[in-house]
Homo-oligomer: A and B are copies of this chain.
Amino acid sequence: MESRRERLVVIGGVAAGMSAASASKRIRPEMEVLLLEKSPFISYGVCSIPYYISDEIKDYHDLIAVTPEAAQNERGVFVRTLHEATAILPDTKEVLVRCHDKKKDERTTFDKLVIATGAVPIKPPFPGVDLKHIFALRTLEDGVLIKKYIDDWEGRQAGAEADESLRVRSALVERQDRLRAVIVGGGYIGLEMCESLRKRGLDVTLVEKMDRVLGTMDQSVTDFVEETLKREGIKLFKETSVLGFEGSGGTVSEVLTGQGKFQADFVILAVGVRPESTLAEAAGIALGVNKAITVDEHMRTSLPAIFAAGDCADALSIVTGKKVYIPLGTTANKQGRVAGENAAGRETVFEGVAGTAQTKVFDLEVARTGLTSLEAERERIPHFVSTIQGRSRAKGYPAGKPITITYVVEEDTGRLLGAQMVGQEGVAHRIDTLATALYARMTVEDVARLDLGYAPPFATVWDPILIAANVALKKMDRR
C-alpha cells in the first residue's frame, strides 16, 4: 500500500498564507501543500493598492508577487483560487470548501493546517452603510473596483466634454466638474487615500472622529500631518462623527455627520480592521486580544496541528511582553514563514513585534515604533515624552528639511518605549534604528552612544536620533 504524502492546507493566500506555503515547501519539498484562497488573487501587496488607485502603479498585476501558476511551477504549491474555506473540522482534520467557480462544496483533509484568513474592514452599523459606492479598501478586488469607478467617471466626463464641444452640455457636467470623495477615518489607509485621490484630481473630504489624525500618535507629529493635508486641499473635519449615509436610487449621495452633511459621489470607509477569526472560533480555537487567534511563538493555535499567522493572529509586543493585535504586512510575512516552517517540522520562532509602521502623506514621511504616550499610559508604565526638532542635512548643505522626533521614555530606567517621527526626508529609514533599539531594550543613554553615520547630504554630525536621546537624557537629569 502506498503511503499518502503528508498534507498541509493553508487557508488564505495573500501575505501570511503564501509565505507559509512557500516556507513549508522549502523545508520539506516532499510535503503536499494546498493553498485555498476565496478571491481570484493571491500574494499581492495590500499596502500598494493606494498607489495603484492613484495610477502611479498602472497595472494591478504589478502588485502581485507570485501568480498561482508560479506558485505551482516554481514552488510546488497547489493553489486553488475562488475556493473559500467554510468550516474547519479539527476532529476529522478536514476543511469544508466552497468552490465559487464550480459552485459546489468539497471537503479536503489535512495533516497540518495554517489559518491565514487576514482581517476584514470594520463596517459600523451606520444607517445607509450598505448603499452603493461606499467602498472598503482591503483586498485587491476593492482596489480594482475603486479605480474602475474613478476611471469610468473620468471616461464619462471626457465623453461629456466632447459632447459639449458640440454644444450639448450635459446636466452632469453642469452640476460638477470634480468627483467628490468622502474618506471616513484618518488612519494610514485614510491618509494614503487622501494623497491617492488628490493625485487623481478629486475633491476630497476627510472625516475623523478623534481630535487628530493617525490615532494615538503624538500631537507633535500629527499637527504636521494635518497642516500638510490642508495645504494639499483636503477638507479635514476632526472630532466629527459619522451618523449615517443618505442616497438616491440606492447609491450614496451624502454623508451625515455631527458637523453637517457632506455631498459624496463615493465614500471610502477606513475606520480600521478586525481579525477574520470566525472560522477559527467556530472550530473551537481560542481567541485572544481583539478576538484575534491566539498563537504561541511557533504560531501554534490552541488546537494541535493547527497554526495561524498574519492579520487574523495576535503577536507578542517586544516592548511590553504582552499580546497585541497590530495587523501589518511585514508581520504577516514573518509570521507566515514561521508558521510554514513549524508546520513542516522545523521549530523556528517569531519573536514579536515592535509595532513599527511608516507612511507617506503627500511630501511627508511619518513613522512610528513601539508605544505612543497614550499606549504607555494604558499600560500604566510611568513615562515621559521628549520632542526635538532636528534637520535632515548638515548646516549649509542645500535643501535640508526639519525632522521632528518624539521619544516615549520609561520614567526611572530611561528605557526607550517608543518613537515617532515626521519630516519631508530621512524619516522612513531612521525609525528602523529605533525599532532595533527597542529589540535590544536600549535606554536613551544607549541610544545617545550609538555610532551612527554622518555625511553632510544625509545627516547632521549629531544625528537627530542622537540629539533626541541627549535631550531626553537631560530631561531625566532634571527629574
Q: Looking at the complex, which one of B65, B433, B459 makes contact with A436 (CB distance below 8 Å)?
A: B433
Identity of the chain B residue whose Cβ is nearest the Cβ of A452 in the assembled complex: B432
Query: Is residue A63 within 8 Å, beta carbon to beta carbon, of the partner chain?
Result: yes
Contact A453 B431 (CB under 8 A): yes
Q: Looking at the complex, which one of B350, B430, B454 makes contact with A329 (CB distance below 8 Å)?
A: B454
Q: Looking at the complex, which one of B352, B398, B449, B461 makes contact with A47 (CB distance below 8 Å)?
A: B461
**Interface residues on chain A, number (Cβ under 8 Å):** 68
| Chain B residues with CB below 8 A from A318, complex form | 451
Q: Can you list, as one digit per residue, whether each of A36-51 has a CB less than 8 Å from chain B (1) or not (0)? A: 0000000001011001
Contact A455 B396 (CB under 8 A): no
Best-buried of A318, A353, A457 by chain B (most CB within 10 Å): A457
In the assembly, what is the distance between CA of A280 and CA of B351, in Å?
A: 50
- The answer to whether A456 and B394 touch (CB under 8 A), given A369-B451, A451-B355, A461-B330, is no
Query: Is residue A437 within 8 Å, beta carbon to beta carbon, of the partner chain?
Result: yes
Q: Can you list, as one digit per residue, whether each of A456-470 has a CB less than 8 Å from chain B (1) or not (0)? A: 111101110100000
Contact A330 B451 (CB under 8 A): yes
| Chain B residues with CB below 8 A from A462, complex form | 330, 333
Query: Is residue A387 within 8 Å, beta carbon to beta carbon, of the partner chain?
Result: no
Contact B451 A331 (CB under 8 A): yes
| Chain B residues with CB below 8 A from A440, complex form | 436-437, 439-440, 442
- The answer to whether A455 and B369 touch (CB under 8 A), given A433-B433, A439-B446, A442-B440, is no
Contact A453 B395 (CB under 8 A): no
Query: Is residue A149 within 8 Å, beta carbon to beta carbon, of the partner chain?
Result: no
Query: Is residue A116 within 8 Å, beta carbon to beta carbon, of the partner chain?
Result: no
Contact B457 A360 (CB under 8 A): yes
| Chain B residues with CB below 8 A from A458, complex form | 358, 360, 365, 428-429
Q: Looking at the complex, which one of B396, B428, B430, B452 makes contact with A63 (CB distance below 8 Å)?
A: B396
- The answer to whether A455 and B47 touch (CB under 8 A), given A15-B461, A432-B463, A436-B440, is yes
Nearest CB in chain B: distance from A339 CB, A: 15
Q: Looking at the complex, which one of B369, B396, B436, B463 makes contact with A437 (CB distance below 8 Å)?
A: B436
In the assembly, what is the distance between CA of A396 and CA of B369, in Å?
A: 26
Nearest CB in chain B: distance from A21 CB, A: 16
Q: Looking at the complex, which one of B56, B355, B455, B459 makes contact with A397 (CB distance below 8 Å)?
A: B56
Nearest CB in chain B: distance from A447 CB, A: 8
Nearest CB in chain B: distance from A469 CB, A: 12
| Chain B residues with CB below 8 A from A365, complex form | 458
Q: Looking at the complex, which one of B356, B396, B461 makes contact with A452 (CB distance below 8 Å)?
A: B356
Contact B426 A329 (CB under 8 A): no
Q: Can you list, as one digit per residue, whether each of A44-76 has a CB less than 8 Å from chain B (1) or not (0)? A: 010110011000110100110100000000000
Contact B396 A48 (CB under 8 A): yes
In the assembly, what is the distance between CA of A331 and CA of B463, in Å?
A: 12
* Residues from 253 to 308 in A contacting B, C-beta threshold 8 Å: none
Nearest CB in chain B: distance from A285 CB, A: 25
Contact B451 A435 (CB under 8 A): yes
- The answer to whether A428 and B51 touch (CB under 8 A), given A353-B451, A367-B453, is no
| Chain B residues with CB below 8 A from A444, complex form | none
Contact A329 B461 (CB under 8 A): yes
- The answer to whether A56 and B398 touch (CB under 8 A), given A360-B455, A446-B439, is yes
Nearest CB in chain B: distance from A18 CB, A: 11
Q: Looking at the complex, which one of B57, B65, B429 makes contact with A429 (CB distance below 8 Å)?
A: B429
Nearest CB in chain B: distance from A256 CB, A: 33
Contact A432 B62 (CB under 8 A): no
In the assembly, what is the distance between CA of A466 and CA of B459, in Å?
A: 24
Please name 17 pairs of A and B residues whose Cβ atoms are closer than 8 Å in the assembled complex, sorted by A.
A48-B397, A51-B456, A330-B451, A330-B452, A330-B463, A331-B451, A334-B449, A350-B449, A358-B453, A367-B453, A428-B453, A428-B458, A431-B453, A432-B452, A438-B451, A439-B442, A439-B449
List 11 other contacts, CB 8 Å, given A318-B451, A439-B440.
Answer: A51-B456, A57-B396, A62-B396, A331-B451, A334-B449, A353-B451, A358-B455, A428-B455, A428-B459, A432-B465, A439-B449
10 A-B pairs with least C-beta separation: A62-B396, A440-B440, A429-B429, A428-B458, A358-B453, A354-B451, A436-B436, A57-B396, A432-B433, A351-B449
Give A residues with C-beta under 8 Å from B: 15, 45, 47-48, 51-52, 56-57, 59, 62-63, 65, 318, 328-331, 333-334, 350-360, 365, 367, 369, 394-398, 426, 428-433, 435-440, 442, 446, 449-459, 461-463, 465
